[in-house]
Structures are given as structure tokens and as C-alpha cells.
Amino acid sequence: MEQAIIPISSKEAIRLLCLDSVDPPMAKELLSQLESASNIDYVISHHAEQDHSGTIPQILSKFPNAKVITSPKAKETLKDLLRIPGESFKTVEDGECLSLGDKTLRFIYTPWVHWPEAMVTYLQEEKILFGCDFLGSQIATTELYVTDEGRVYEAAKRYFAEIMMPFRSVITKNIEKLEGYDIQMIAPSHGPIYPRPSFIFEAYREWVLGSSKNRVVLTYVSMHKSTKQMVDYLVEALVDRGVHLELFNLAVTDIGKLAITLVDAGSIVVGTPTVLAGPHPLAAYAAFLANALRPKALFLSIIGSYGWGGKTVEVLAGMIPNLKVEVIEPVLSRGLPGEEDFKALEQLAETISSKHTEQGFK
């Protein structure tokens, strides 16, 4: 649900609001829904990213008297991103209310979930929170409300992993801020409405504050099967020690699924051959992604093979400055792994298992 139009009765008239807009490719659908509206009084802009704001200029063209209600920071961003003129805005402060007669909208700043200007709207009389990106899910469904929490949990976790995970510390503050309101329903801009808000709040608390799990995310790419042999060996060695695995062949993997598993993995292992003196580009991509998503894993290692040399470990290690991980001794084999390499993989599995036990990962 990218937008909602709310008829609001006041003493004088019916007022119409747009809560955000839609991505420009969906503009036709939105504008056709507005066809019968004689006026739009306000467009509430929670977030300047174009999947929410991109059609605001077209709404303003159709309803030139409409005011865009947003934060001062979002105003400046929208002026730059969409060239919306300054006089079209009415800015609101954190906590400010907009009374529309018998309905009241309260605007609550929720910075960095996931842009700095983000805010949400609380419809006080109905106790509905319009959360925009915050608490949303990557799911397209004709069901307006969450009916299958298990299905939505996975979709929301994927959304959290891909969009929100880098902002874990501010998420906690924003959840605490929202806890001060009596919220009976959450209507995010992505995914269905939560009639049981505690479901998604509890999930977020677990993803943000919960301990990592006794689980390794092992991403790999192999060209001539040397790295693959090492991966297979390490998988078995970890399983023998009771460590759970999430294995991703980067040549075919769904990056979204990889992101989900990063939410609570205790360790990350990257398996890569050496190509042009460095990691395979797919392994470099995985490292870049992990660095950008900033998962809470505490340990990382690198395994792989090389033909004549290179700086695979140095290059990969230099790509993950955002990760607060202890790097466990990498294992690199020249060509097919031999006895010494398997011993080193056995030791790597032992070290990971011990460190997970020390941390109390379950």
C-alpha cells in the first residue's frame, strides 16, 4: 500500500488527504483513483524517496492548492529531488498536530529509518500509525491486513535486512519513541496493515537487540572446484560441531535471502578463488553488501584457493570496515586443497564453534 486517501469530515467540509504518493511508474493508477476528488487539501510526505514522493508533483499539478505537509529537512530534500516549489510546503515540527475537526494527525519524526528526514503519522482518534517505510514488509498481496503472520514475518525480515539493518541503533530509539503512543494498528507503506502491532514491534526488537545465533553464513563462489571442496569440508566440520549453516553459492543466490540470514548469523565466512590477484567479483560483491548492511555478526573468516598468488585476504578485509568482527585466521589453498588445508579448515571450524559457545550463541 503506497498511499491512502482519507476523507476527513470537519465542521466546514470534507477534507481529503494523500498519505504520500506512489512511484512514478504507478502514477496513472493513483491519479485515476483521484479522478473523482474535487480537491486535495494536504499531501502528507513522510519520506522523500521517490517510491513515496515521486508522484507528488503530479498531484500538485492536478490540485494546485494542496499543501505538502512534511518536516523542514524533507522539504529541502523534496525541493532538490523533485523540484517542488517552496511555496507548496507547510512544514511541521516533531510532535506537531494537524487538527481537521474531528480527526487529529500527529507527526512524529523517526530519523534514519531509513533516511534522515523520515517521519510517521499517528491518527489519534483511531490510534493508527502510518509508518511509511518503518516496520514495512517486502510483500505484494491483495490482503489489506496481515492474516498470516508467519508469511509476513519472513517478508518483514527481508525488508528489515535490506533496508533497515544498517540503522539498528536508531531503530531502537524510534521504537522507544513510538512506545509512548497507544497504537492499535500500523499501516506501513510497504506490505499489509498490522492489526496486532506487537507482532512487528517484537520482531524488530529481536532483530535489533536479540543475540546472534549459533549459525554461519557461508557465501562462496568457485571456478575450478578447489574452493568448493574447501567449502564442502568446512560445512561438514561445522555441522559435526553443532554449528548451523546458511550456504549461498553466489553465482546463483538470491541476495535478499542472503541478507535475511545476515540478520542473526554469529559468523560470516566468504569462500572465493583468487582472480586477477584479488577476490572473485561475486565475493567482492558479497563483502560490499555485508559491509553496507552492517549485520551484528561477531566473527568472519575467508577461505579459498589461488593459482599463483594474490592479495585476496587483504582486499576482502579492506572492504569491510563497517563490520565489528574478529577476523579468524583465513585458509587459502594453492589449487586443490591438500591435507594441511583440510587440517586448517578443521581448526577454523573448531575456532568458530568455540567462539560461538563462549558468546552463548544458541
Q: With binding defined as CB under 6 A, does residue 158 bind ligand FEO? A: no
Nearer to ligand FEO, 49 or 264 (CB): 49
User: Which of 124, 2, 117 lies closest to 52 in space, CA to CA?
Assistant: 2
Q: With binding defined as CB under 6 A, does residue 114 bind ligand FEO? A: yes
Nearer to ligand FEO, 3 or 272 (CB): 3
Contact 332, 230 (CB under 8 A): no
C-alpha 48/C-alpha 339 separation (Å) is 56
Q: With binding defined as CB under 6 A, does residue 133 bind ligand FEO? A: yes
Nearer to ligand FEO, 110 or 301 (CB): 110
Nearer to ligand FEO, 49 or 341 (CB): 49
Q: Which stretch binds ligand FEO (CB under 6 A): 46-54, 193-201, 245-253, 336-344?
A: 46-54
Contact 48, 78 (CB under 8 A): yes
Nearer to ligand FEO, 190 or 296 (CB): 190
Q: How far is the CB of 51 from ligand FEO (least distance, A)?
A: 4
The DSSP string of 295-312 is ----EEEEEEEESS---H
Backbone dihedral angles phi then psi of residue 112, each to the nearest 5 degrees:
70, 25
- Which of 22, 44, 51, 218 contacts ligand FEO by CB under 6 A? 51
- Which of 46, 52, 103, 158 contacts ligand FEO by CB under 6 A? 52
345's enclosing H/E stretch is helix 339-359
Interface with ligand FEO: number of residues (CB under 6 A): 8
Q: With binding defined as CB under 6 A, does residue 47 bind ligand FEO? A: yes
Q: How many CB atoms lie within 10 A of CB 287?
A: 24
Q: With binding defined as CB under 6 A, does residue 296 bind ligand FEO? A: no
Question: Cβ-closest residue to ligand FEO?
Answer: 49
* Cell, residue 41: 487539501
Nearby residues of 144 by Cβ (< 8 Å), 6 or more positions away: 1, 192, 193
Nearer to ligand FEO, 21 or 229 (CB): 21
Q: How far is the CB of 135 from ligand FEO (least distance, A)?
A: 12
Neighbour-count burial of 156, counting CB atoms closer than 10 A to its CB (0-12 exposed, 13-18 middle, 19+ buried): buried
- Which of 6, 16, 34, 49 contacts ligand FEO by CB under 6 A? 49
* Cell, residue 362: 544458541
Site of interaction with ligand FEO (CB under 6 A) = 47, 49, 51-52, 114, 133, 189-190
